[in-house]
Structure formats: C-alpha cells, structure tokens
Amino acid sequence: VQLVESGGGAVQAGGSLRLSCTAPDRTFSAHAMGWFRQAPGKEREFVAAVRWSRIGSKIGDSVKGRFIISSDKADNTIYLQMNNLKTEDTAVYYCAAATVGPWNTPLPSFDYNYWGPGTQVTVSP
C-alpha cells in the first residue's frame, strides 16, 4: 500500500503549512492514519492521528493548539493544518497508517505498519 504525502516546504516562523496524505488504493482499510515527525538527531515523534473505525483524533502535546488534523474517509485522506509554526517544528513529516491491532488502541500506540516517504518541513526564524 502506498501513502502519498504532499504539502511540505519552507516557511518563516509564525507561518502556516498544510500537509495531506492519501492512500490511493480505495480498497485500503486502516484502523488509524496519522502523522509523525523526525528532526535530525532526534527520535521520531507522534504528531497527530485520526481513528477510522470510530470518531476520534489525538494531537501530540508539543503541537496542541497549533496543529489540526482532519480527514476525508471517503478519499482515504488526512490533512495536517500547521499554524503558528516554530523553528522546532522543522523535521521530516511522515504519514502512517495502522491496519493491525485492536481498533481501540490509543492512537499514538498503534503499530503503524504503512509509512509514506516523508515530506520536509523547514521553519526559519
């Protein structure tokens, strides 16, 4: 299964970007889809995710109040609206999908078994 990401780029601090991720295969069915990020020299960090099987979403603590996750289940697409970006948001952002595990697993804890190639987000001072 391929996950296709778009929307990364460079922006100044305080600006906004919107990422999108689509699973083009319409037969694809996941428990959850979400975003992670990894900055150079740092561990991968959970950013946000939505639960397909039930209504629900979660935003990571470091981006809460600035980032919004939304979804279009009919198109297997999720979006990440990133507002008031900070230099510490600079990272490669990865889309991920989880198709295994109990449907009610906490969103950050799913075994995300499909990953996109990543899209670079760079925030300058």
pLDDT in tens, 24-52: 887 788 899 999 999 999 999 999 999 98
Phi first, then psi, for residue 87 (nearest 5°) are -60, -30
Task: Classify the phi-psi angles of 56: left when phi > 0, otherwise alpha if psi is within -120 to 50, otherwise beta.
Answer: left
**The pLDDT value given to residue 74:** 86
What share of the chain in percent tops pLDDT 90?
79
**pLDDT tens-digit profile of 46-93?**
999 999 877 799 999 999 999 999 999 888 899 999 999 999 999 999
**Cβ contact 46:34 at 8 Å:** yes
Query: Would you place residue 102 in the very low, low, confident or very high pLDDT band (cuts 50, 70, 90)?
Result: confident
Q: What's residue 29's pLDDT?
A: 86
Q: Residue 63 has what pLDDT?
A: 97
- What is the distance between the alpha carbons of residues 18 and 41, in angstroms, rounded to a whole number? 24
